[in-house]
Structure 1
Amino acid sequence: MGRRDDMRGEPPDGSGEATNDPEWTRDLWSTVRCAGVLLALLLLVDWSSGRLTLWRATVWFALAGLLFVVLCPDRVSAGGNWLASRRLVRERRVRTDLLVSVRCLDGISQRVLLRDAFGGRVEIDPEVLVRNPQLWCRLDEGARKAAADGILLCGTTVLRQISRRVDRETARAVFKASGLE
């Protein structure tokens, strides 16, 4: 059995290497620290009150583990005509040159939902794209091709909004680096 891209028709081009979110490692360590601090505090409070038992310690470990799972960030990467988001167990991938829709999902935290012609679906935080212009360029490149081919049915407005945010943040970073802030 071949790779998933081989089964879906034309494989993505191999132009360049995969681009990863460089902030992911820092975010992961922040998640580990939060879960560790919660665990340490719960164990310390129970120990100081004299009520620490094996059963209670197990509950505190489970609670800290649950916090880690909830806070664990997605690892977003992109390559030639694909974008992937990896959670703890599963990776989801879309072909950016075959996108059919890009939607903005509002809620507690804003998410962007990308869908391709083969049913692939990826939800990512738009802040990841704003912080990492290389990831944005990979997505934008494929989305422009999909729009030019008439495949992208909805989502150009969302892509333009993200593009403006990326441009604004990039300009702000340039001004800050040059001392013109």
Structure 2
Amino acid sequence: MSSLRCAAVLLVLLLVLDWATVRFALWRAALRLALAGLLFAVLRPARVSAGECWLSSRRLLRERRVRTDLLVSVRCLDGISPRLLLRDAFGGRVELDPDVLVTDPQLWYRLDEGARKSAADGTLLYGATALRRISQRVDRETARAVFKASGLK
């Protein structure tokens, strides 16, 4: 939603600037609209979906998919925005925001189910600690939501 707001603010500011400088033209307005649309497309968050033994992330131009039952590594990439990088045995690679898993427990359940199978089969070589940290965070946020819904907080 914030990507839509950013694009809308940019469009309004550019149109107001054109109107204030008395340079408003239809072709310029169309150009401004295209620029705001491009900003929205770039800022739009990835759509993450999951099924039995797979997780996918759809961005602007392509979709990436990883087999969760054949995970090889799970890494937390710290920086300005933390990312979770998942790699499977076939070379599949998905990068996503860990907050997506925290806010959607069903996605987390699908990932955790596949990761446990990977660990049991011995394919998950790196990342048990990262998964454990996310699991604790999901449990903490779920407990908070339950307490808040029941009026205990």
TM-score for the superposition, normalised by structure 2: 0.92
Query: Offset at 1:53?
Result: 4.2
The residue that corresponds to 2:142 in the other structure is 170
CA contact (8 A) 2:47 2:59 kept: yes
Tell me the percent identity.
75
CA–CA separation in structure 2 for the residues paired with 1:105 and 1:60: 35
Query: Offset at 1:59?
Result: 4.7
The residue that corresponds to 1:73 in the other structure is 45
Q: In the TM superposition, what whole-angstrom CA distance separates every residue of 1:56-84 from its partner, at most 9, and x where no partner exists?
A: 44553343133212211100000000000
Counterpart residue identity of residue 170, structure 1: T
CA–CA separation in structure 2 for the residues paired with 1:131 and 1:61: 32
Match of 1:90 among 56, 62, 69: 62
Match of 1:136 among 94, 101, 108: 108
The residue that corresponds to 1:3 in the other structure is none
The residue that corresponds to 2:85 in the other structure is 113
Query: Offset at 1:36?
Result: 2.2
CA–CA separation in structure 1 for the residues paired with 2:52 and 2:58: 17
Which residues in structure 2 correspond to 1:38-57 (within 5 Å)? Answer: 38-53=10-25, 56-57=28-29
The residue that corresponds to 1:23 in the other structure is none
Moved more, 114-123 or 46-55: 46-55
CA–CA separation in structure 1 for the residues paired with 2:98 and 2:28: 39
- RMSD after superposition: 1.6
The residue that corresponds to 2:7 in the other structure is 35
Match of 2:35 among 46, 63, 70: 63
Q: In the TM superposition, what whole-angstrom CA distance separates every residue of 1:9-44 from its partner, at most 9, and x where no partner exists?
A: xxxxxxxxxxxxxxxxxx4xx423331232122112
CA contact (8 A) 2:42 2:60 kept: no
Moved more, 64-73 or 103-112: 64-73
Counterpart residue identity of residue 150, structure 1: G
Which consecutive unaligned segments of at least 5 residues does structure 2 have?
A: none
CA–CA separation in structure 2 for the residues paired with 1:163 and 1:146: 16
Query: Offset at 1:49?
Result: 2.1
The residue that corresponds to 2:128 in the other structure is 156
CA–CA separation in structure 1 for the residues paired with 2:119 and 2:13: 52
CA–CA separation in structure 2 for the residues paired with 1:72 and 1:121: 20
TM-score for the superposition, normalised by structure 1: 0.79
Counterpart residue identity of residue 104, structure 2: N
The residue that corresponds to 1:99 in the other structure is 71
CA–CA separation in structure 2 for the residues paired with 1:174 and 1:62: 43
CA–CA separation in structure 1 for the residues paired with 2:107 and 2:80: 24
- Partner SS state of residue 101, structure 1: strand
Q: In the TM superposition, what whole-angstrom CA distance separates every residue of 1:121-140 from its partner, at most 9, and x where no partner exists?
A: 00000000000111000000
State how many pairs are aligned. 153
